[in-house]
């Protein structure tokens, strides 16, 4: 999801979707903090978004070893995003236990980023396959920023054609970007005060684990069909309303529940220590 241009420390603070969701999710997490239990503040979490977040890494580096937050819903059991989320959840729990605020803020931010991207409809498109088709190599083998940006074809005409399919109007990257930027503008001014986490949500999380909770929310996101609607007809008032009223609240719930897993793990660690 859109997190600003990543060219400055405050980039994305106004219309960054990741930043907005982090703020809202942190507010909705507050009722679940017990007694003197602490959790990084929104400001501390946002320090590790934008230029200091996963999208900043992508701008500064080749594709090798950079975060790749795409999920094929048809192959949910075999996706790297959930492994990243599980790692962040465990590391966040340990940071909370040792009261390492900076590390906790980092883990909370990067976990939330993975959750949000994994639930973003544009990230369910098989982009890796299309990149391999156009670039002639897997996405993670592009070894420089230039190699990530310019497709080299067999001849000039092939080069122009492939770059247009990627960067041009309705190209796979431009379509992806304009959808995410449209989400950012659609939610401006909305504080998402009606996002509700119920006891049933927490019980399902405890019983089934976060992977099942994430998959359930992902299926609800896919059922909204927002990316397909945008790709076919562009942005409309009804589509923007669906994003505000249904899509983003679902993603906020997933972030709150993801952080809640780390809180629960930390409580379990403390009980064992006693």
List pLDDT tens digits, range 133-183.
777 665 554 555 566 667 777 888 888 887 777 777 677 778 778 888 888
Count the alpha carbons within 13 Å of 201 in the hemisphere toward its beta carbon: 17
Count the alpha carbons within 13 Å of 150 in the hemisphere toward its beta carbon: 6
Burial 223-250 (b: 16+ CB within 10 A, else e): ebebbebbbeeebeeebbebbbeebbbb
List pLDDT tens digits, range 1-55.
645 444 444 544 556 788 899 999 999 999 999 888 899 999 999 999 877 777 6
Please give the pLDDT value at position 126: 65
Please give the pLDDT value at position 11: 46
**Ranges of H-type helices in 15-155:** 17-29, 42-46, 54-60, 80-97, 101-119, 127-135, 145-149
Tell me the C-alpha distance between 17 and 144, whole Å: 27
Using a cut of 0.75, tell me whether the model's pTM lies above it: yes
Helices then strands, counting H and E runs in the chain, come out as: 14, 0
Please give the pLDDT value at position 90: 97
Please give the pLDDT value at position 5: 45
CB 258 within 8 A of CB 89: yes
Pick 79 or 101 by higher pLDDT.
101
Please give the pLDDT value at position 61: 55
DSSP helix, strand, coil percent of the chain (3-state; round to 5): 70, 0, 30
Reduced to 3 states, what is the DSSP secondary structure of residue 86?
helix
List pLDDT tens digits, range 187-204.
887 777 677 788 889 999
Element (H, E) at 258: helix 248-273
- Residue 124 DSSP class: G
- Shortest CA distance to 123 belongs to which of 252, 50, 221, 241? 221
Confidence band for 116, pLDDT divided at 50, 70 and 90: very high
Confidence band for 121, pLDDT divided at 50, 70 and 90: confident
Q: Examine the pLDDT at 117 and tell me if it is beyond 80.
A: yes
List pLDDT tens digits, range 53-82.
776 665 555 555 566 557 778 777 768 888
Tell me the C-alpha distance between 25 and 32, whole Å: 12
Q: What is the mean pLDDT of the chain?
A: 82
């Amino acid at each position: 999801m859109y997190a600003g241009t990543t060219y400055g420390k405050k980039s994305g603070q106004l219309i960054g979707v990741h930043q907005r969701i982090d703020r809202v999710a942190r507010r909705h997490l507050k009722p679940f903090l017990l007694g003197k239990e602490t959790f990084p503040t929104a400001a501390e979490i946002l320090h590790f978004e934008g230029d200091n977040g996963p999208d900043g890494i992508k701008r500064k580096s080749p594709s090798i070893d950079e975060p790749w937050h795409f999920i094929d819903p048809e192959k949910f059991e075999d996706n790297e995003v959930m492994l990243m989320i599980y790692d962040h959840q465990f590391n966040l729990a340990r940071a909370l236990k040792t009261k390492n605020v900076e590390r906790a803020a980092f883990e909370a931010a990067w976990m939330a980023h993975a959750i949000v991207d994994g639930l973003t409809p544009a990230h369910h498109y098989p982009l890796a396959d299309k990149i391999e088709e156009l670039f002639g190599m897997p996405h993670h083998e592009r070894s420089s920023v230039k190699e990530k940006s310019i497709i080299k074809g067999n001849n000039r005409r092939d080069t122009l054609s492939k770059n247009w399919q990627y960067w041009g109007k309705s190209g796979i990257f431009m379509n992806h970007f304009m959808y995410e930027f449209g989400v950012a503008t659609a939610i401006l001014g909305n504080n998402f005060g009606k996002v509700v986490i119920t006891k049933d949500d927490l019980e399902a999380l405890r019983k089934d684990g976060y992977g099942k909770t994430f998959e359930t929310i992902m299926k609800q996101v896919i059922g909204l069909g927002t990316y397909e609607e945008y790709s076919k007809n562009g942005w409309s008032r009804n589509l923007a309303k669906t994003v505000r009223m249904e899509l983003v609240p679902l993603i906020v719930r997933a972030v709150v529940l993801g952080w809640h897993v780390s809180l629960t793990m930390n409580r379990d660690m403390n009980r064992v220590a006693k």
